[in-house]
Structure 1
Amino acid sequence: MTEALKHECGIAMIRLLKPLEYYQEKYGTWRYGLNKLYLLMEKQHNRGQEGAGLAVVKLDATPGNEFIFRERATGSSAISEIFGNVASNYEKVPTEKLDDPAYAKNYLPFAGELFLGHLRYSTTGKSGISYVHPFMRRNNWASRNLALAGNFNMTNVDEIFADLVKEGQHPRDYADTFVLLESLGHHLDREVQYQFDKYGKDSGVKGKELNDVIEENLDIPFMLRRASENWDGGFVIGGLIGCGDSFVFRDPWGIRPAFYYMDDEIVVVASERPVIQTTLNLDVAQISELPAGQAIVVKKDGTVQFPQIIEKKEAYAPCSFERIYFSRGSDADIYRERKELGTLLLPDILKSIDSDLRNTVFSFVPNTAEVAFYGMTQGLENYMQQVRFRKIREKGENISDEDLTRILAMKVRTEKVTIKDIKLRTFISEDKGRDDLAAHVYDVTYDSIRPYEDNLVVIDDSIVRGTTLKQSIIKMLDRLHPKKIVVVSSSPQIRYPDCYGIDMSRMSEFAAFRAAVELLKDRGLEYIIDEVYQKSLAQRNKPKEEVVNYVKEIYAPFTDEEISAKMAQMLTPAGTEAKVEIVFQSIENLHKACPENNGDWYFSGNYPTPGGNRMVNTAFLNYVEGVDKRSY
């Protein structure tokens, strides 16, 4: 992607099911859990580079000793920093004690059995250490302690916040992370109190025995059901409870992803499947996906439950952007799907170059479009094979050696035309010279095409704002003097904001929206903008369940091809010699390539939750009224 988006966070949870002595004997270290957590987080570094944190719970810590630990840091090197800080606790410990799991269990911090890790990208504009997960709620009762981390964005924070206030609470912050922590913490308190009253008052159990009974009978699924009754958004939320229970809970629309593995030694949950495979050296078939609306709950005694917290919604809509861009391409299914996305573009690509493969060079915008490029070129090779076969058949038995040699020599021409200077990106500042600097993030391989003879086709995984295309990519490619530049997007046109974890919240950010507005003006249809505004304004204060996405009417008068052509016109820099065309994936083909991940609201405007319609309504009102702020 030419314009990196801040997006879904990553989580990792580990529960060791054996005593630390077991891992010391089998794997040579009681730090087995910490080591695996580090790998799970580092392998998901793509999901968050603004901060990272971890929490650890010790089972059966004696009174007077800490039983829950946390470490957090900000910045792209946060993972190394937090694990370095954990390791610093052991620097002065004698080797014989450091290698003793019993000593570690009793005296060393972070020597526990429950681990929760988080990688953060902010999609709300709030930053700083206080917004880095895991969040914690502390109490002298172990069962009332909660460490929480998640990959989520809630669309109805106002409603959840209001519910807490009605309960008599005074939340300290309006951010969804704080609100969810207080919501879950509140219902955890109520569950503990219920068990306290049930066994303490009614049965007369006291002291440690009462504490043990409360912890044994904590109903985590009930707590999750009560807390999440009014949640609207995409989420995977993980929690550690101080007494030793843990959970990961996925939204009922399946928007955010979660995968797990379990055996008699360990339970592991992560945001992506291949990171579990690599970390534990597993086959793909050994990893399971957590179903929508379901939780994985591990009790203190090691028993594992899979309760259905909320019924899977009819509008089941796993995020397709995970498949196109966000998730690691090393996942077997995602790799295959990204290749298919490239292959399905073949008819439109051939149309754009008049099937002139002899005079066309194919390339990609590094680095995330590379897999789609492989799919595109394999499709082209198959097409070329058919062309060769047809030409040979047409010549018949009397084909000359010269003609046969020429036909067999026909091939798809591919080059690495664009190069991304990753180091340069870290230097770019926010001053007035930023645009000029941004233009040099990418570079070209000179003499990789024949000037004024070749078409140049470059594939990217998506086009959001189009800023980098206009300021850098097209200018740079035009230096090679192609006859025509065809920019291909393996995803459809991004037309609508996201509210479930991707940092796309303003209508003006989308090149497709700007193109549609310009087309309305070109054709004397500006009144449609006002009509949509009045309809949107009339539902500003309606309950989210009654809000309709009228922004679709902005695009309705035009075909996809008309909007693509307008985008190409708007994004072509002044002075460009080559003709520029933009080709987009169709939504239909997106679903063919990614049949299990049909969440396409950023392309179609079909939001799976009511909060999505309310958010896009707010985004459009903000656009028309000139309000430059997020719509969630």
Structure 2
Amino acid sequence: MSELNHECGIVAVYQYGQADQCPISSNHTRNQVSRMVPRMLLDIQNRGQLAAGMTTFKPRDKELLLTHKRLGLVSEAFRMSRKNKYQDLMERHSGPAAIGHVRYATCGKDDPNNAQPFERAHLEKRKWFAFGFNGQLANYAELRNEITSGGDFHLARETDTETLMHLISQVLSVRPDIKMRELLSAISIRLDGAYNIAYLNARGDMFVSRDPQGFRPLCYADRDGFFAAASESVALTNLGFDTSGIRDLPPGSAVTIQDGVLRVEEYSRAAVRSHCFFEWIYFANVCSRLDGQSVYLTRKTLGEELAKQETESKENAIVVPVPDTAKAAAEGMAFEMSIPCLEGLMRHRALGRTFIESEDRDAKARMKYIPLPEVLEGKKVFLVDDTIVRSTTMKVLVEQIRTRGKAAEVHVRVACPPIMAPCFYGIDMPDVGDLFAPRFTDGSIELTREMEEEMARHFNADSLRYLPISSISKAVNTDATNLCQACLTGEYPTQAGQRLYDLSLNAQESCSEDGGSRRLVEGTDSPVLPPSTI
């Protein structure tokens, strides 16, 4: 039960018009637009590095839907380094419509069967479908128990994606002619959490949908009968769509394509919006725009906010970013303070992000970055990171900058408030007991200087400063009531999310009392939390 702990990305393309040539690419005919999917997935590779896949609609073949998915990066999954094999694969998967997915998981089996899209074959074309899913269902345990207890049903993978496939199948078995908007309405009333979906069936019907609270980003563009959608705008701009033609899909809405007609339809409405702020500060491609807000400018503004609260002397000082996602924040801080921003740390390109890797974390952190004494020696270093989750990487970095880099002082600056709680909506955050900040705050979300000084001593840093929570909504240019900041505040925008957090706190208290690591699953007596809580 480890497949819920992921941040993923979805894409979709469809030449639903009658033109023989794709208006975006003169190299692709109507039946070859599916070839664009691997390219789009490369642009959102930051959202998933464990597996990649695509499903193509092939109206002239016996196999009306054809799915290819493999473990590894996009280039590995699609054999892109082997030109002939890649071309053969693309030829087999040529068609007028396709969906794609990249998956990012933290632990568990590296099983290709857990890669997406998921496909459910059926004799009836309207019941034969495939879909890719980006998000996480906070009420997964409840849905799982409901499905497995209601008749002769079995879940083979125990993932929220498979649960979603069962829910869609149940609706289609009762109402095979249901409209796609109505299908989404029917399943949405049973779901709690984040669930962006790219769906394609054997009749050539497609929808891409965003959950009613808009946790995860999703955008689309349409030109002369050619439609494309992606988790991030960078995948659409690199296809050739002008920025002005790229639209953010409103929460609770879907783009549907059926019988050659494209519609944007609302299927559900939530009382509040809950766009995940962490998308802007960490996960998203810096070239993207999410709900109209530039990722790069958001991160730059966070750095400027860091500079405005700075009290240390600027003499002999430099700003050094932790590569790569903290670069924009470091540049903003340095510009505001009128001191140099230099790359005193180089990232080992063969290693991935360590906060989502559980084995030999300390050793991987030591390998991940290389300090440059030519830049750092004798300097007062303002070390800027986008966030601190478990603290392993930061502790190693401060040590390396002092010993190998020979810096005179190291001042840690975090372009984010402290992470105080897990995420149950699609971003891997550890349980409360594994987070760094709660150990020093006694449950308070407002830090005192004494707390920050104790944290600095933990890292052997000269000082440490976090941003206040108010800086997030300012940088994102969005009212805080429209953002999910549950991992900062412990206040969750859905009922199931709040229940899981309460269980997590109770499990942590039990752990403290018993000296063990007892954890609970919502709705069961199992001593293991659902994977969404790590």
- Common fold by TM > 0.5: yes
Letter in 2 for 1:313: A
Query: What residue number does 1:389 align with?
Result: none
Provide Cα deviations, 1:317-357, integer angstroms capped at 9, x if missing partner.
101111001111012511111111100111322x1x1xx22
Q: Is the 8 A contact 1:11 1:117 kept in 2?
A: yes
Higher strand share: 2
Q: Is the 8 A contact 1:498 1:504 kept in 2?
A: yes
Q: Give me the whole-angstrom Cα distance separating, in 1, the residues matched to 2:183 and 2:359.
A: 51
Q: 1:95: which partner in 2?
A: none
2:309 to 348, 365, 370: 348
* Residue in 1 that maps onto 2:474: 592
2:520 paired with 1:561 = no
Give the superposed CA RMSD.
2.9
Residue from 252, 255, 275 that aligns with 1:296: 255
Against the structure 1 CA distance between its residues 450 and 147, is the aligned structure 2 distance closer, same or farther, given a 3 Å change threshold?
closer
The aligned residue for residue 45 of structure 1 is 45
Change (3 A) 1:380 1:267: same
Residue deviations 1:35-94 (CA, integer Å, cap 9, x gap): 3212111111111110011001123x47xx2211000101235654366899749759xx
Distance 1:273 1:341 in 2: 21
Distance (whole Å) between structure 1 residues aligned to residue 24 and residue 209 of structure 2: 33
Matches within 5 A, 1:361-400: 361-381=318-338
TM-score scaled by length of structure 1:
0.74
Quick check: 1:76 aligned with 2:73? yes
The question of whether the paired residues in 2 share the 8 Å contact of 1:234 and 1:254 is answered with yes
| Counterpart selection for 1:473 from 386, 397, 403 | 397
Opposite residue 305 of structure 2, the aligned amino acid is: L
- Give the SS at the match of 1:231: coil
1:619, CA displacement in angstroms?
A: 1.8
Question: Could you give the per-residue CA deviations for residues 100-158 of structure 1, whole angstroms, max 9, x where no partner exists?
Answer: xxxxxxxx742322201000012574541111111111111111101011101001113
**Structure 2 gap segments, 5+ residues each:** 512-516, 520-527
Q: Secondary structure at the match of 1:495?
A: coil
Letter in 2 for 1:185: S
* CA pair 436-261 structure 1, distance change in 2 beyond 3 A: closer
| Corresponding residue SS for 1:247 | strand
Contact map agreement 2:118 2:132 (CA 8 A) in 1 = yes
Whole-angstrom CA distance in 2 between matches of 1:119 and 1:127: 14
| Distance apart, 1:161 and its partner CA | 2.8
The one-letter amino acid paired with 1:344 is: E
Kept in 1, the 8 Å contact 2:48–2:102? The answer is yes
Structure 2 distance, partners of 1:560, 1:268, is 48
What is the letter of the counterpart of residue 468 of structure 2?
S
Matches within 5 A, 1:193-208: 195=177
Task: Report if the CA contact (8 A) 1:52-1:82 is conserved.
Answer: no
Is 1:140 the counterpart of 2:132? The answer is no
Structure 2 contact 326–386 (Cα < 8 Å) conserved: yes
Give how far 1:595 is off: 2.5
TM-score by length of 2: 0.86
Equivalents in 2 of 1:123, 1:424: separation in Å? 15
Residue identity over aligned pairs, in percent, reads 24
The amino acid of 1:469's aligned partner reads M
2:70–2:77 contact (8 Å) kept in structure 1: no
Change (3 A) 1:478 1:331: same
What displacement does 1:424 show?
A: 5.8
Cα distance in 2 between the residues matched to 1:283 and 1:87: 32
Structure 2 residue 373 is matched with structure 1 residue 446: yes
Aligned to 1:180: 164
For 1:380 and 1:492, how far apart are their aligned partners in 2?
A: 20
**2:32/2:96 contact within 8 Å kept:** no
Q: Which residue is 1:267 aligned to?
A: 227
**CA–CA separation in structure 1 for the residues paired with 2:361 and 2:498:** 35
For 1:37 and 1:90, how far apart are their aligned partners in 2? 13
Preserved CA contact (<8 Å) 1:123 1:502: no
Tell me the distance in 1 between the aligned counterparts of 2:28 and 2:364. 48
Return 5+ residue gaps in structure 1 as ranges. 1-5, 93-97, 99-107, 196-217, 382-411, 521-553, 573-578
Q: Secondary structure at the match of 1:52?
A: strand
1:156 aligns with 139
What SS does the corresponding residue of 1:269 show, helix, strand or coil?
A: strand
Distance 2:417 2:110 in 1: 31
Indicate the residue corresponding to 1:244 in structure 2: 204
Q: Higher helix fraction: Structure 1 or Structure 2?
A: 1
Alignment CA distance shift 1:168-1:227 (3 Å): farther
The correspondence of residues 26-65 of structure 1 with structure 2, limited to 5 A, is 27-30=26-29, 32-59=32-59, 61=60, 65=62
Contact 1:342 1:372 in 2 (8 A): yes
* Aligned residue in 1 for 2:246: 287
1:570 correspondence with 2:458: yes
The residue number in structure 2 matching 1:220 is: 180
2:136 maps to a residue whose letter is: N
On the 8 A contact 2:71/2:77 being kept in 1, the answer is no
In the alignment, does 2:500 pair up with 1:627? no
